[in-house]
Amino acid sequence: MPMKVLVVDDTNTDRLLLKLHLSKLGYTTLEASNGQEAIDQFLEHSQDLDLILMDVQMPYINGFDAVRSIRKIQEQQNQEWLPVIFLSASAEDDDIEGAILAGGDDYLMKPISQKVLSAKMLAMQRIADMRRRLVDSNLALEQLASTDHLTGVANRRSFELMLDREMSFTRRYGVPMALAMFDLDKFKVVNDTFGHDAGDAVLAEVSKRIKMALRDSDIIGRLGGEEFGIILHNVKEDDVFKVFDRYRKIVAEHPVVHEGAEIPITASIGVTMYAGKLEDKVALLKRADQSLYEAKDTGRNKVIY
Ligand code: GH3
Ligand code: MG
Ligand code: MG
Ligand code: MG
């Protein structure tokens, strides 16, 4: 994709000349002829803009003020860095300093040399690429830190963060949700009979079955050991039992096959609803846990709701 550049200048001939330079260099352009237009263009195109070339002297809102506003918006919206190069006929130290203080990344003297402009844009592109790589590797690290490596589902920390988020969604919009604790039955026996590797394979397979069955807006996480949490987002109270009983069956109806061995598996599921009362995550998890205990106490392989 060619870089998209916003060219801001109140002088038509300057703007045309810049556009000409830029199109020769293979860039696409957007235009603004004053500070306000620049801000408007930025608001409309901030998603796919790569660079702003900003004249300093303009009536009403000058280039410095326009860039200050743009930087403020970016900060409020937590947007990515967008390079800004100021263009001005003034060689005054105060203007050069002012440009950087206003949020500019570089300052070029008019008349603009196509060669210098192209070199400066290359420098900005390099920094933008570097930042993008950093953001990407941060995202990858975050992903790694929030995922349980054996099963590929959310780990406890990340599940609890999502639970917080779901609960505030429910509080704000009054959309009920369900939370379940889901624990494999007699899993110690599985390990003792088939070995720890087989136990690991069961955990991975069970997570996969549930993940396949979940709706996109629902969430599964591994809370620890052979215990999982499941959140149903925006669910009718009448449907809750049906959904979780389906998950129970998905686990129980076929044994997990590992290295030729057929391993029968069942799970107990303790469920609780949340409709937005002043209750915290800990209280909710505790209620689901109590239902889970009841399921274990009364025979396992069942949903208690
Ligand atoms: P219950 O029906 O009451 O839940 O019985 P249980 O045997 O499932 O419960 P218990 O808490 O006594 O045992 C849990 C077992 O899960 C013991 C532990 O070794 C096993 N386990 C926990 N994490 C893992 C894991 O990552 N891999 C394997 N293979 N086993 C695990
Ligand atoms: Mg001007
Ligand atoms: Mg268990
Ligand atoms: Mg357990």
Identify the pLDDT of residue 278: 83
Which of 226, 253, 279, 294 is catalytic? The answer is 226
Mean pLDDT of 257-264: 97
Identify the pLDDT of residue 128: 85
Q: Tell me: the pLDDT tens digits for 219-255?
A: 999 999 999 999 999 999 999 999 999 999 999 999 9
Measured in angstroms, how far is the CA atom of residue 98 from the centroid of ligand 2? 16
Q: How many Å from the N-terminal Cα to the C-terminal Cα in the chain?
A: 53
What are the φ and ψ backbone dihedral angles of 5, each rounded to 5 degrees?
Answer: -120, 130
What are the residues whose beta carbons fall under 8 Å from the beta carbon of 287, sequence distance 6 or more? Answer: 272
Identify the pLDDT of residue 3: 86
Identify the pLDDT of residue 214: 96
Question: How far apart are alpha carbons 26 and 46 in whole angstroms?
Answer: 20
The label of the residue with tokens 């409709």 reads: 275
Atom of ligand 1 nearest to the CA of 197: 29
Give yes or no: 227 in active site: no
Percent of the chain with pLDDT over 90: 93
Question: How far apart are alpha carbons 273 and 263 in whole angstroms?
Answer: 32
Q: Tell me: the pLDDT tens digits for 161-184?
A: 999 999 999 999 999 999 999 999
Confidence band for 200, pLDDT divided at 50, 70 and 90: very high
Q: Partners of 75 in the beta sheet? A: none
Surface-to-core class of residue 28, CB atoms within 10 Å of its CB (0-12 exposed, 13-18 middle, 19+ buried): middle
Mean pLDDT of 284-291: 98
Q: Which two tokens stand for residue 283?
A: 């209280």
What are the residues whose beta carbons fall under 8 Å from the beta carbon of 257, sequence distance 6 or more? Answer: 263
For residue 186, which ligand has an atom nearest its CA? 1
Confidence band for 2, pLDDT divided at 50, 70 and 90: confident
CA 155 to chain centroid: 16
Mean pLDDT of 54-67: 95
Measured in angstroms, how far is the CA atom of residue 187 from the centroid of ligand 1? 5
Identify the pLDDT of residue 141: 96
Residues with Cβ within 6 A of ligand 1?
150, 183-188, 191, 196, 199-200, 203, 225-226, 296, 300
Other Cβ atoms within 10 Å of 176 Cβ, number = 17
Identify the pLDDT of residue 220: 98
Confidence band for 71, pLDDT divided at 50, 70 and 90: very high
Question: How far apart are alpha carbons 268 and 226 in whole angstroms?
Answer: 11
Q: Is 185 helix (H, G, I), strand (E, B) or coil?
A: coil
Identify the pLDDT of residue 132: 87
Identify the pLDDT of residue 172: 94
Confidence band for 286, pLDDT divided at 50, 70 and 90: very high
Query: Taking 80 as the threshold, does the pLDDT of residue 1 lie above it?
Result: no
Nearest-CA residue for ligand 1 atom 15 is: 188
Measured in angstroms, how far is the CA atom of residue 280 from the centroid of ligand 3? 25
**Averaged confidence pLDDT in the chain:** 95
Q: Tell me: the pLDDT tens digits for 147-160?
A: 999 999 999 999 99
